[in-house]
Homo-oligomer: A and B are copies of this chain.
Amino acid sequence: MTAMDDGLADPTGAGAAAPTLHDVAREAGVSVATASRALNGSSRNVRAENVTRVREAAARLGYQPHLSAQAIAKGSTRTVALVVRDVADPYFSSIAAGVTQAAEAAGLIVTMAVAGDSPERELQIVRTLRGRRPRVIIVTGSRIDGAGTREALIDELREYRTAGGRVVLISQRDLPFGTVTIDDHGGSAALARALLGAGYRRFAVFHAPPALRTSRDRHEGFLSGLAGADVPEPLAVETGFTRTGGYEAARRLVERGFEDVEAVFAVNDVMAIGAMTAFRDAGVIPGRDIGVAGFDDIASTRDVVPALTTVAVPLHEAGLSAMRLALSDGEPLPTALPATVVLRASTPPRPHHDLKVMRGVTAMGHDHLPWTSRH
């Protein structure tokens, strides 16, 4: 018999097993049932002395209830599963913060999964998540048309719901589930009108591939806001949905020559901010030589120079609404969040144009002019 066999060494390397309720019960000198009741159940019907005895035993052993076992025994969990495309993107992290806050208030724990750009991975993640039997699954991020996973995703979520789960989608309309949408179309249209009102006439739009629903909605919304005004067709520049995408698009625009463009609308703020930096790098001063506007109103819009004109969407609120929707009884009605135009210094007024649209365009460069989008 060697030293390895005497029980002191731990050949498996796994360490001592975590103490179970049985251990606690034995340590406290009561039955498992009593221990269970004392720790997690309605401790009404257990003698006070035993309660403390059990609590002390649990503390002494460092006992933590095995949540999986509880989940199995009780048939339900207290978790919310959140699927995002990218944690590092302020758009998603703001939503996540809202979801987390609301979940916490409801005594639920949020677990977050990152899908990346791949719809296949998103589908796979939803599948896996389903296995954890969360109370709620929230999926955020634009649907991508033609990815071929749409039906499969719907099936997966539908089955989950049939089994008693709550599904809420953020920023994905047209799917048969509770939905929190952002008024991409209306917000962009309102922005277009506001820019017309500020004297801009000739635009470029930096957009992502139209398969990306959010990008397309914002692009189309912008065009529809221009409709009726006597302006040339905006120049459309397709690029990535990221800061780098915006940077590249701006670089290309400068190379091409931008004499026919007075202002750029980038379909999100990180693109717009990347574009501003690219313009600056090329010696083109945003706000003076060219107007720039974005969408989302992320925190950085106030720290760049000039401050970025954008469309504010209540991201944090979207997270809260999603949880509210998930927890509400009855058929969840789609919630639409308003988008608000915020004119800042990146699109100063151009008074040398005839203003035949809009009135009251005065305090440019100030925050929160009340151009709420319709709807």
A-to-B contact residues, CB < 8 Å: 13-19, 62, 64-72, 77, 86-90, 93-94, 96-97, 100, 109-114, 127-128, 130-133, 155-156, 159, 161-164, 243, 273-274, 276-277, 280, 299-300, 302-305, 329
A64 touches B303 (CB 8 A): no
CB distance from A244 to the nearest CB of B (A): 10
Contact flag A97-B114 (CB < 8 Å), given A128-B109, A303-B276: yes
CB of A131 within 8 A of CB of B162, answer: no
| Measured CA separation A87–B93 after assembly (Å) | 6
Q: A163 vs B243: C-alpha distance in the bound complex, in angstroms?
A: 44
* Integer count of this chain's copies in the complex: 2
Contact B304 A163 (CB under 8 A): no
Given contacts A77-B68, A114-B110, contact A16 B163 (CB under 8 A): yes
CA distance A87 to B112 in the complex (A): 10
| Chain B residues in 8 Å Cβ range of A133 | 18, 66-68
**How many whole Å from A18's CB to the nearest CB in chain B?**
4
Chain B residues with CB below 8 A from A273, complex form = 300, 303
Q: Which of B13, B65, B66, B112 contacts A112 (CB 8 A)?
A: B112
A19 to chain B, nearest CB (A): 8
Determine if B65 and A68 form an interchain contact, defined as CB atoms under 8 angstroms apart.
no
Q: Are B90 and A88 in contact (CB under 8 A)?
A: yes
- With A66-B72, A67-B131, A304-B305 in contact, do A96 and B90 touch (Cβ < 8 Å)? no
Q: What B residues does A114 contact at CB under 8 A?
A: 97, 100, 110
Chain B, residue nearest A125 (CB): B109
In chain B, what residue has the closest Cβ to A104? Answer: B114
Q: How far is the CA of A161 from the CA of B16 in the complex (A)?
A: 9
Q: A17-B163, A93-B93 are in contact. Are A130 and B64 (CB under 8 A)?
A: yes
- A358 CB, nearest partner CB in chain B, Å: 28
